[in-house]
Amino acid sequence: MEILTVLGYIAAAVIGISLGLIGGGGSILTVPVLVYLLGSDPVEATAYSLFIVGLSSLVGTGTYFKKGLVNVKTAVVFGIPSIAAVYATRKFLVPSIPDVMFSMGDTPITKDLGIMVLFAALMIAASISMIRGRKAPKVENDGEQKFNYPLIILEGIVVGTLTGLVGAGGGFLIIPALVVLSKLPMKEAVGTSLLIIATKSLIGFTGDIGNMDIDWTFLLIFSGIAVIGIFIGSALSNKVSGEKLKPAFGWFVLIMGVYIMIERAIDTFG
């Protein structure tokens, strides 16, 4: 087994540990691991990431369910437009994007390049959220849950489309929306977001099944290692403060995002 493959599987465990330890953000590393360590092309990597992120989030949801911190009604309301968007994106939009989207002079701008640049931008945005820390927006709560359906539908479509394009869950976008648009407490918003991410990612992944050959053996092994990592991270969270580690992890994600941007620019423009 090549050294990069070994490092890729080790990284799968690290992704799971970070999810269990800091409660989110680790899945943002799945696509870079698949592309740079395990040799997947970006389109395949985003598809596999949906399955890995979905399964990992589903496992994480169980912990919040036990604590009564998952609002199923809210997950359904938010999840429907997001699920529809991510499935449509994987089933129809991604396959319809031409391999060469356009050219800048004599330089072709490819689908793979576009996906990786968009993903790097999302990594940078997510890293800023982690570095700043997760603070609940100030909202008035009169005790009765009310849904702002137009904004919920719009947010669901935007996040679902982004998830479909780059294979990341987008929790840093969903959690503030749950707090502001449905008046959920922060901890309940985190648990509910995991259920939304799990559902939309796994259903979105089904849109790829007919469009590409899935290496199920590899996918299940990688996902299994990540899930084991989640349990390890959850056990460590009793001894180590995940919130204190999150800014440091955010800086790492930021560096990775900037690296991908620079690497792709050099590779494309020389």
Q: In whole angstroms, what is the distance from residue 174 CA to residue 190 CA? A: 9
Other Cβ atoms within 10 Å of 8 Cβ, number: 21
Other Cβ atoms within 10 Å of 73 Cβ, number: 11
Q: Which structural domain range is residue 236 located in?
A: 3-269
pLDDT at 137: 59
Q: Bridge partners of 100?
A: 110
Could you tell me the pTM of the whole model?
A: 0.88
Q: In whole angstroms, what is the distance from residue 101 CA to residue 196 CA? A: 31
Q: In whole angstroms, what is the distance from residue 263 CA to residue 180 CA? A: 37
pLDDT at 27: 73
- Is the Cα torsion angle 63, 190, 115, 113 positive or negative in sign? negative
Q: How many domains does the chain have?
A: 1
On whether the CB atoms of residues 186 and 134 are closer than 8 A, the answer is yes
pLDDT at 134: 60
Record the tokens describing residue 155, joined without a space. Answer: 């947010």
On whether the CB atoms of residues 61 and 162 are closer than 8 A, the answer is no
Q: In whole angstroms, what is the distance from residue 136 CA to residue 190 CA? A: 11
CA-to-CA separations, 185 to 117, 134, 179, 193, 234, in angstroms, rounded:
34, 12, 6, 12, 22
What is the 3 state secondary structure string of 118-156?
HHHHHHHHHHHHHHHCCCCCCCCCCCCCCCCHHHHHHHH
Tell the burial category of 97 from Cβ atoms under 10 Å away from its Cβ (0-12, 13-18, 19+): middle
Q: In whole angstroms, what is the distance from residue 87 CA to residue 236 CA? A: 35
Record the tokens describing residue 82, joined without a space. Answer: 């997001």
Per-residue pLDDT of the chain (270 residues; tens, 9 = 90+): 689 999 999 999 998 888 887 766 667 889 999 999 999 999 999 999 999 989 988 988 888 888 898 999 999 999 999 999 999 999 999 999 999 999 988 899 999 999 999 999 999 998 998 888 766 556 555 556 777 888 888 988 999 999 999 988 778 788 888 888 888 888 888 889 889 989 999 999 999 998 899 999 999 999 999 999 888 988 887 787 767 788 888 899 999 999 999 999 999 987
pLDDT at 98: 95
